[in-house]
Amino acid sequence: MSASLTVPAVGAKRGFTWRPASVLPGFRTSLTITLLWLGIIVLGPLAVMLWFTAGMGWEAFLGTITTPRVLADLWISLRSALYASLANAVFGLLVAWVLTRYNFPGRRIADALVDLPFALPTAVAGIALSTLYAPDGWIGALLVPFGLQVAFQPAGIVVAMMFISLPFIVRTVQPVIEDLEPEQEEAAHLMGASALAIFIRISLPAILPALLTGFALAFARCLGEYGSIIFIAGNRPMVSEIVPVLIVQELDQFDYQGATAIGVLMLAVSFLLLLAINLLQAWVRKRHGG
Amino acid sequence: MAITLSRRQALSYTAAAIGAAGAAAVTGKPAFADANTLLNVSFDPTAQLYAAYDKLFATHWATKTGTTPVLHYSHGGSGAQARAVIEGLPADVVTLALAYDIDAIAKKGLIAADWQSRLPNNSTPYTSTIVFLVRKGNPLNIKDWGDLIKPGVQIVAPNPKTSGGARWNVLAAWAWALKNLGGEKAALGYLQKFFANVPVLDSGAHGSTLTFTQRKIGDVLVGWESDAYLSIKEAGPGSYEIVRPSLSILAEPPVALVDKNVAAHGTTAIATEYLTYLYAPEAQDLIGANFYRPSAPAAVAKYASQFPLLDLVTIKDFGGWEKAQPEFFGNGGYLDQSFGASGASFFGVGG
């Protein structure tokens, strides 16, 4: 234990050293448990998936993931997830802002409501949403005169995704807004900056890294969502069918390799996108000295 | 609609089985010592049939052996159910939508390869066919397969990739198109138009029935004759009408003993009797009452008006499932070729 008591310079982030950046003991134990936990819970299933896929060979793998249906469904999944997370980036930020900056009757209830999509079983959410947005539903009926239909159309996928991913943006952005010092905004105001300029040049740069994290989380959640979407999407191949539905179909046809191949494709695409968002986030942090 | 209450029961049953297996490992006793317990893994549209049959069988088994059996069941999409059994759902018997799904279990060595010859009528105690269910008064005047592909007709049908019933749908449609439109190319064109008219593709027959009856979506539901009768029974007479096309298919949902599991559970006797008794006169009568087509002469005569004779093709006309499955439903098969992105729009066309 003596090794862990030699306190290293805090902030030595880079480079691979075995020294803990904490004065608290238990480095070895906690690291072992961490690696075991990640190995069993996260890496295990991923390894099985790759193992299954490895058995099929490159050509079969490429053949499976480049069929028009897989590509079309992938595009539907990505596009819908992007729309939903972008919409939530705007409106989730607004919700977080209002919940932290203003006081109004029922604020606590509104704040608690944000967590509801976390807790609600996704199938329940899906059934409720599709009932609401069906052409004879409460909201769906209002849209019919405008020639719009949400349930059982690609738009339905986005609505379900917006529902399940909202808390990710709100909950990541909220603490940052709470920590923002109003003095900065007040100073800018006294120096004659317009409200818009204050928001864009003072508040937003401070919030942006957290917003990007929230966006990435929301996006990843949208891509992986299955339970609620199957009820509202209509699931028409190449029109309103998301990739996870396709994976289940492959499984139901006893094509395990085909299913895992598409799973690996999803994994690769998600990884690349999350990497890109992380790089973007690092760049923003550097630029604004966050 | 994979998750039903019965499915959940099956899950808890599985959990119990795992627990029991754990207990057995400690005590050294077999996990399923109770020879009077049985798990029937079935597909969606048979839920009512087996709920009724289980009561009948319980009485029969009690009179025969003096013990009351404990009958568990699980209902879901046929393919998904077969997969669950392959992956370890401890089914004693499987009663699925098509032979192909039972073949898949047999290929994994859980069921003897010759399972289909072990019981009468290719191990099919009841049959059904594919019919159309239309709304009261048949407003679009749908009479035959050809009417389904007219512009503006909305068809509700499940996804053939996940639903056994939907595979019978496709084969029936194909047989009609081949006969009436001439040639494979025309038949493929028919399938394309058919699926272009499907606004919601549910994963199972049960989901499609709910979409049509509860959500009020679509003009015509294409599916099991038994489901069509059930929908009318639940919504009341006059709510819907059954339309029988000029040509359909003999849908044969077979049953089989899961040899490996019954040997491990010690349930061979009750499982064998459970399946054999399906052919008994009183069970055949129950089958007719639950809207499946019986095969025993007395029941056939009794329910003759309910099941008019139709011009039916069979799976044999397609060369059996071993040939039909890859040809129609495999990757790049006729079904994949009939799905297209045409007509896709973000909000759809309202009204």
For residues A69 and A237, the answer to whether their CB atoms sit within 8 Å is yes
Spell out the domain ranges in chain B: 5-126+253-302, 128-251+310-338
Residue A117 identity: P
Q: For a pLDDT cut of 90, what percent of chain B falls above it?
A: 75
**Does residue B189 register a pLDDT over 80?**
yes
Cα(B203)–Cα(A248) distance, integer angstroms: 10
Distance from C-alpha of A102 to C-alpha of A100, rounded to nearest angstrom: 6
Residue type, A198: I
Chain-chain contact of A144 with B350 (C-beta, under 8 angstroms): yes
pLDDT band at B191 (very low <50, low <70, confident <90, very high): very high
Would you say residue B4 has pLDDT above 80? no
Residue B77: predicted pLDDT:
86
Give per-residue pLDDT as tens, A6-36: 444 444 455 677 766 777 778 888 899 999 9
**pLDDT score of B24 more than 70:** no
Prediction ipTM score: 0.72
Residue A123, Cβ density class (10 Å: 0-12 exposed, 13-18 middle, ≥19 buried) = middle
Of B161, B343, B346, the CB nearest to A249: B161
DSSP state of B162: T
Same fold, B5-126+253-302 and B128-251+310-338: yes
Q: Is the pLDDT of residue B62 over 70?
A: yes
pLDDT at A27: 83
* Residue of A242, A243, A252, A256 to mutate, testing the B interface (most B Cβ within 10 Å of its Cβ): A252
Output Rg (C-alpha) for chain B, integer angstroms.
21
Of A131, A136, A154, Cβ closest to residue B346 = A154
Burial of B159 (0-12, 13-18, 19+ CB in 10 A): buried
Helices (H), A6-43: 27-38
- Inter-CA distances, A100 with A173, B128, B158, B339, Å: 10, 61, 47, 49
Average pLDDT of the segment spanning A234-244: 90
Greater pLDDT, A249 or B56? B56
pTM summary value: 0.80
End-to-end CA distance of chain A: 35
Model confidence at B111: pLDDT above 80: yes
Instruction: List, for residues B73-83, the tens digit of each pLDDT value.
Output: 999 888 889 99
Domain at B128-251+310-338: CATH code: 3.40.190.10
Those residues of chain B whose CB sits closer than 8 Å to some CB in chain A are: 3, 77, 79-80, 82-83, 86, 104, 159, 161-162, 195, 198-203, 215-217, 329-332, 336, 339-341, 343-351
In this predicted model, what pLDDT tens digit does every residue of B137-184 receive, in sequence order? 999 999 999 999 999 999 999 999 888 889 999 999 999 999 999 899
Q: How far is B213 from chain A (nearest CA, A)?
A: 13
Across chain B, mean pLDDT equals: 88
CATH, range B5-126+253-302: 3.40.190.10
B173, containing H or E segment: helix B164-177
- Confidence class for position B279, pLDDT limits 50, 70, 90: very high
How far apart CA B87 and CA B84 sit, in angstroms, is 5
Q: In 10 A of CB B304, how many CB atoms? A: 11
Dihedrals φ, ψ of B243, to 5°? -115, 125
